[in-house]
Amino acid sequence: MKENSRDSKSGKKAAAPSDNVLLQTVEQYKREREILLALSSDLTKVRDKNDLILLFKKRIKGLFYISHTIVTLIDYKDATYTPFLLDNDGSPIRSHQRYQEMVHSRFPLNEPFIQSVLHAAAPISFLLEDIMNEPQSPPFLRVNYEKGVKEILMATLMKEEKAMGFLHVYTDKPGGFSTEFRSIINGIIPQISSAVSNIIKNEELLKEEEEKSFLLDFSSEIATVRTKEGLARAVQGALHKLNPSGGFVIRRINEDKKALSPYVHDLSKTHDKKILTALENSVFPINDGIQNRILNSAIPMLFNTEREIQRSPDSAYLQYWKQMGMENFAGIRLRNGETNLGILLLDLDDINVKLLKGICAQVSIAMANIMANEQITKTQEEQSFLLDFSKDITRVRTRLDLQKAIFTVLDKTMHTQLAMIRVIDDDGIHLSSFMYDRSLFPNTKGTFDDMVAIRITVEETYTAQVLASEEGLMFNVEEELKNGNAYATLWKTTGLKNMYALPLRVGDKNIGTIWMLANRLSPLLVKGICAQISIAIANIQANEQLDGYKKKLEVENDYLKEQIKTIYNFSEIIGSGEAMQKVYRLISLVADSNTSVLVTGETGTGKELIARAIHNASPRKEKLMVKVNCAALPASLIESELFGHERGAFTGAVDRRIGKFELANNSTLFLDEIGELPLDAQAKLLRVIQERELERIGGKQTIKLDVRLIAATNRNLEEEIKAGRFRADLYFRLNVFPIHLPPLRQRLEDIEPLTNFFIQKYARSTGRKIRSISPRVMHKLRSYTWPGNVRELEHLVERSILLSEDGKIEDIYIPENAAEDQQNPALLLNRSLDEVERSYIIETLKRCAGKISGAGSAAEVLKIPGNTLHSKMKKLGIYKSDYFS
Amino acid sequence: MKIVVIGGSGLIGTKVVAQLREKGHQVIAGSPSTGINTITGEGLAAAMKDTDIVIDLANSPSFEDNAVMEFFQTAGRNLLGAEISAGVKHHVALSIVGVDIMQNIGYMRAKMAQEDLIRQSGIPYTIIRSTQFFEFIGGIANQATQGNEVHLSDVKFQPIASDDVAAFVVKYALGAPLNNKIEIAGPDRFDMYQVADRYLQYMKDPRKVIANGKPEYFGGAVTHAALVPAGLADLGAVSFENWLTTQLQNA
């Protein structure tokens, strides 16, 4: 290889020594120094490629003739050098067909041409002709030669004592590089070296600056992002700067952690509807050979679409991307802290790690924020939804309301179907169905109805599990099917994936279970709704109970009002006579037991008072004694009054009515005037007494009863039985413990205290003050026979008080004997012997159907001879008309 | 072929790169200084493009147990991940003879983790387990120096010249992937302290080597035969004596 050194060239000039020449040389050196100084100072100002190119073009070319200059840089990574800076404005080779190839080529360092440059101590020139045909010589030599370039001057650029690149200077004139020029180049090479390394540094700084400002811009862009759409816009804007035609997709890891779904994307690269829908609506399994690789890689990865298709031919999206013209793509995981959120896939051919990592850090934060935001919004929505539901629920009073509220909420808002609500019965063991959606299982009505009808217990496997769970259970329908859960076949028919079963609790108390079918339910929502439903059910139950109580109270109240009007307002029984003492003894004997008591006595003797006394002395005294006056009700109503009726049991039964028997449950039922009870009712009454349970009229439900019976009558029941008006069996049932009340006329000693008691009572209520009763009045009271007994005395006293003057009762208005009263045995006492004899004979004759003598005749009853009776009748004036009336 | 040598600027790396270039291959010498960083991933994807063979000769910048494990795992994952994506056909890594039986030593655990990652990667591979290089001996002696004495173990030692290592790496890299490990070692077997003693003598170093009889290496207890190949191994051509001669010449 022939080297044209500076020395050989300058040889010619040194051959003509003369003063002039010397002077010339001095001048030349001066000029050279000036040029060097000027160039050096210019070179120190070089900041970028353009500055250097300008320097070559304007300054050097202005001084010397050259065709063009090139700076190449060494890459030690692969031991090559490659063009870095081209001053080729006037370059003849720009029109060469291999020009572009040359610009982008990497020329190996290990060949003799460039090695000789590296080993040369100063700039070294070559005639292209001489070296371009050497087998390893770089092709740019020939390219230049082919465009008329003759000679090349190469200088090594040094940095930190290591070759960093080369300065190529070309000329199309052979021998075109003057000594002066070579000297100048040799002089400025260190400055050019530092200028080039400055340019490189500057470019690096600029690039870094750009990256930083890019990331900063992106960061401020991202900071304003609140929604998915905003994120899409921000990412799109940023990536557009990196690759204007490229798209991207962010996929988010689904909640099941098994797949990823598109989150935001820019698929503007394609307009193919089919591809778009396929890409947008797909769920991509996490372990598809690409996504898992990205998620497991801490660094961005570059993929070749074709290679990945060969690796996993099943990944549909790769095929689509290929169709979209994506040769390569980059994938980076999006990670918040230690949690993978998803991946970012980019249409890129190379990777700038710093930039992508920066982008991904921002995107990850934005995504986490959006997701957190979405979660908050969702939670808020759920909460406000719960609030609304709560409002709805507070209005709920009946099952129907609740059902409506629940169905609306579950179906419309949560895409959930209520399968069943079961409520634990009062016994704490059984669960009855409270509410269910029959329409949920339209094809299996029979099965479902069967299941509804079964009263399960808290021990039932699934129910027990649910009740024991803290926050309910989720049964996967498919899994339950596999496990052989009989219910699951039913659940399966709805097409929903999961059965959510939760305990309904009020406080710590289980009140039932709720079963809901859904694909997915938010735990917060479910919990909230269940709490509301629990309360609603408890309210409804309380309401129903309350309703019962209320009805009962109303009935009791009505009844009490009725009672206040009718009963004696005695708080105690007046009377200390021997006859009454006997009664008291009986009361105290019988009160503690549950024995039925039959109180007999004439009208007005205070039978109800005695019944009340028995009740009040009994353990049942805390509850109200219920009284029924059998004589006061029409026969048609008496049964309903006693036993109650269901709604619609008969015409006019517009509401359910609780009977007096039910009302008197756990208490005492006082049947006054039992003798007046119609035979039908007697039969029923007997059954109730015997069975101790009843059914309401028109009802099927049997109601267990614990009622103590006290019956009262002023009739002689035995006679009633004989007459066929009273059932003997009922009589024997009632007459377990008879108490007979003596008539007032047999307890004369009680008349005075009773009179005083009534005077007190009525004086108070009428506002009159009664100071004394004349002894005459008291005498009169004692001598009266009192057919109306105590009641008559009370009324007499009341009347006398109203008629009294000056606070003194002077007289009392004993009623005159009336003819019709004469039959009353009580009245007999006020009549003469003749009168008594006469009426008694008439009475007997009536009973004997007017037969005076003979068998079954009045004479026989009276045990006197027939003639004697005849004469007595004549004497007393008894005619046929008297006893045949 | 395009070959990327990770750790291409190290002791073995430079030799491997030079030898491969000598053979006319396109070789990328990967190291953070050439813009290829297996830890940050910088330049990795670009370097891997169209690459046929990757030779991993990188070593951890820190030898602290956790750091070294972190290095080999991160670098291994990143590198192998990029290789899979680029379709690299052969991954060659340099490991250590006895690495599997010296798991009490943190560095060996890390190298084992690196080997495991390679085996699990699915990329065709060759793992070359080498004995210690002659070049280490000076350092080993320095570490064991107490005053004027060098206390060294009598574990079996069969060091190899780095030129031989590089030659083996080149040979196996250009061969078909073994999908297995092979072992390489120097031609002669010694006790560790003997090698150091010879080295110091030759270098005219006044320090005195004392065999302490403790079987240990890298600060951990090892078996006497841990550092030498158990079975068949490729043996280097350069003997310790020959190497010493060249050292003196170079010095």
pLDDT in tens, A565-599: 544 433 467 777 788 888 888 888 888 888 899 99
What DSSP string describes A714-775? SS-HHHHHHTTSS-HHHHHHHTTEEEEEPPGGG-GGGHHHHHHHHHHHHHHHHT----EE-H
Domain count along chain B: 1
Task: Answer yes or no: is the ipTM higher than 0.90.
Answer: no
Instruction: Mark B32-58 as b/e (b = at least 16 C-beta within 10 Å).
Output: eebebbbbbbbbbbbbbbebbbbbbbb
Chain A residues with CB-CB distance to B36 below 8 A: 77
Q: Do B40 and A78 make contact, defined as CB atoms within 8 angstroms?
A: no
The pLDDT assigned to A414 comes to 66
Dist CA A449 CA A249 (whole Å): 51
For residue A319, the Cα-to-chain-centroid distance in whole angstroms is 44
pLDDT in tens, A421-452: 888 887 778 888 887 777 766 666 566 667 66
Chain A residues with CB-CB distance to B26 below 8 A: 78
pLDDT in tens, A446-490: 666 676 677 778 788 888 888 888 878 888 888 888 887 777 777
Task: Quote the radius of gyration of chain B (alpha carbons, Å).
Answer: 18
Contact assessment for residue A125 and residue A4, using Cβ atoms and an 8 Å cutoff: yes
DSSP E strand stretches across B23-148: 26-30, 53-56, 90-96, 125-130, 145-146
pTM of model > 0.80: no
What's the CATH code of the domain at B120? 3.40.50.720
In the chain, the amino acid numbered A321 is W
Q: With a cut of 50, which residues of chain A have pLDDT below it?
A: 1-15, 566-571, 818-822
| Cβ neighbourhood burial of A719 (10 Å; 0-12, 13-18, 19+) | exposed
Helix axes A179-223, A6-14, angle to 10 degrees: 140
Pick from B85, B89, B117, B121 the residue to mutate for testing the A interface (most A CBs within 10 Å).
Answer: B85
- Ordered domains of chain A (ranges, CATH): 6-206 (3.30.450.40), 224-377 (3.30.450.40), 396-545 (3.30.450.40), 567-741 (3.40.50.300), 744-822 (1.10.8.60), 831-883 (1.10.10)
Q: Could you give the 3-state DSSP secondary structure of residue A366?
A: helix
Nearest by Cα to A439 from A418, A416, A462, A454: A418
Residue carrying structure tokens 């009271």 = A781
Helix axes A751-766, A789-803, angle to 10 degrees: 50
The pLDDT assigned to A828 comes to 55
Dist CA B111 CA A345 (whole Å): 33
The residue range of the domain holding B178 is 2-250
Chain A residues with CB-CB distance to B23 below 8 A: none
Q: Tell whether A278 is within 8 A of chain B (Cβ).
A: no
The pLDDT assigned to A475 comes to 84
Q: Tell whether A298 is within 8 A of chain B (Cβ).
A: yes
pLDDT in tens, B65-117: 999 999 999 999 999 999 999 999 999 999 999 999 999 999 999 999 999 99
Chain B residues with CB-CB distance to A77 below 8 A: 8, 28-30, 34-36, 47
Closest Cα in chain A, distance from residue B59 (Å)? 18
